[in-house]
Structure 1
Amino acid sequence: MIFLGKGCLRFFLFVILMLVIIFVGLKNINWIFETIYPIHYADLVKKYAEEYDVDPYLIVSIMKNESKFDPKAVSKKDAKGLMQIAPITGQWASEKLNIANYSEDMLFDPELNIRIGTWYLNVLKNEFGDNLEVIIAGYNAGNGNVKKWLNNPEYSADGKTLNHIPFSETRIYQKKVLRDYKIYKKIYQ
């Protein structure tokens, strides 16, 4: 029996991937990337991206990182659904969007969840401009925290850009969403 170390296994998998690319051809390789980076709920994403003027690739990048596209996902902080809407955000959005008979369980409905999440991204965009890094940090940590950070020279030199994010969870989240956003754009545009 042969045992492969991690380095050997990675090399072996790399060689297999290269052979697949050569065999299938570079033009036909997109299906691999589309499998790893799918776009679920495309019609709803498109609908609310247009309504709230938010990049659809940002929406799917957030869904991928927040819930891995699981509409029944619940976080440790009780955020719910595809875009992991916190109860307080859901209540606030339901008032602003005039959602009749709102209850937290409605956050498991993909359409309502994507609508609220995209609406909130638009709120952040209106507050922070087109600064994608700040918008993503705001989605994770809340706009109140981000405003404090932007007003603190320890975290922001110019009041517009975050030079340092004090929450490690938000730092990691921001990097993952930005990475996935760039990948989605490269695959689908």
Structure 2
Amino acid sequence: MKFKTIIKILSLILLVIILINIKSIFKIFYPMKYEDHIVKYSQRYNVDPLLVAAVIKVESNFNEKAISPRGAYGLMQIMPDTGLWIAKNMKLKDYKEEKLYDNEINIAMGCWYINNLNTEFNGDIELVLAAYNGGRGNVQKWLSDKQYSKDGKKIDNIPFGETDKYVKKVKTNYNIYFKLYGDKYKTSLKTNES
């Protein structure tokens, strides 16, 4: 009888400790690695830093050496052709495909690209994320097809299953990052929203 009581008390104490430290525990699974680069380039390109973290979490899980089955590289999983196009538009000197493995360059390019998509899609995060994953040309086609968009401004259903899951996953991760780090980035978020 005493043993069961001790186990119950210890379990209750453990539960209280976990509840008190729940944010810290979640931060282990949802880190803010490369924070300096994320903040620097999200501010430079007027992108929400928590969105950048959520994209990185989904794209590479913060593995700077990640390569997708389709050949995308680095933290933000940039395809070589897209990387070349971004580098030209950013006027990056001496750009080579290997630079996609440089976490600072990859984050800078990813932030620039998200900003570029934000401009094209009027800041509609679902369209931006769908374009980041499925291609901007596909999103434009879906918007002009009544089967996927009733009003030509929002996508009612994304025809690519992978892209649909991607958008939902990034949005879920964004909400988690917002709950964990939102207080820290409130000023940054206000700057990016204006």
TM-score range (shorter-chain normalised) is 0.7 to 0.9
Q: Aligned ranges for residues 2-21 of structure 1 at < 5 Å?
A: 19=12
Tell me the equivalent position of 1:140: 133
Displacement, 1:21? 6.4
* Runs of 4+ with deviation above 6 angstroms: none
Once superposed, what is the RMSD of the aligned Cα atoms?
Answer: 1.4
**For 1:147, what is the secondary structure of its paired residue?**
helix
1:56 is the counterpart of 2:49:
yes
Of 103, 109, 118, which residue of structure 1 is paired with 2:102? Answer: 109
1:155 is the counterpart of 2:152:
no
Structure 2 counterpart of 1:36, which letter? F
Tell me the equivalent position of 1:91: 84
Measured in 2, the distance between the counterparts of 1:182 and 1:149 equals 26
1:121 touches 1:135 (CA, 8 Å); kept in 2? yes
Tell me the equivalent position of 1:168: 161
Given the superposition, is the C-alpha separation of residues 102 and 25 from structure 1 closer, same or farther in structure 2, using an over 3 Å criterion? closer
**For 1:54, what is the secondary structure of its paired residue?**
coil
Of 63, 68, 84, which residue of structure 2 is paired with 1:70? Answer: 63
Displacement, 1:48? 0.5
Aligned residues: 172
Structure 1 counterpart of 2:152, which letter? G
Q: Name which structure has the greater RCO, CA cutoff 8 Å, separation 6+.
A: 2
Of 27, 31, 35, which residue of structure 1 is paired with 2:28? Answer: 35
Measured in 2, the distance between the counterparts of 1:87 and 1:80 equals 8
Displacement, 1:20? 6.8
Q: Percent identity?
A: 45
Tell me the equivalent position of 1:119: 112
Measured in 1, the distance between the counterparts of 2:138 and 2:48 equals 23
Deviates more, 1:24-33 or 1:155-164: 24-33
Q: Deviations over 1:2-23 (max 9, x none)?
A: xxxxxxxxxxxxxxxx857633
Given the superposition, is the C-alpha separation of residues 41 and 129 from structure 1 closer, same or farther in structure 2, using an over 3 Å criterion? same
1:21 touches 1:29 (CA, 8 Å); kept in 2? no
Measured in 1, the distance between the counterparts of 2:132 and 2:105 equals 17
Measured in 1, the distance between the counterparts of 2:61 and 2:38 equals 15
Structure 2 counterpart of 1:153, which letter? K
**For 1:76, what is the secondary structure of its paired residue?**
coil
Structure 2 counterpart of 1:118, which letter? C
Displacement, 1:28? 2.6
Given the superposition, is the C-alpha separation of residues 148 and 20 from structure 1 closer, same or farther in structure 2, using an over 3 Å criterion? farther
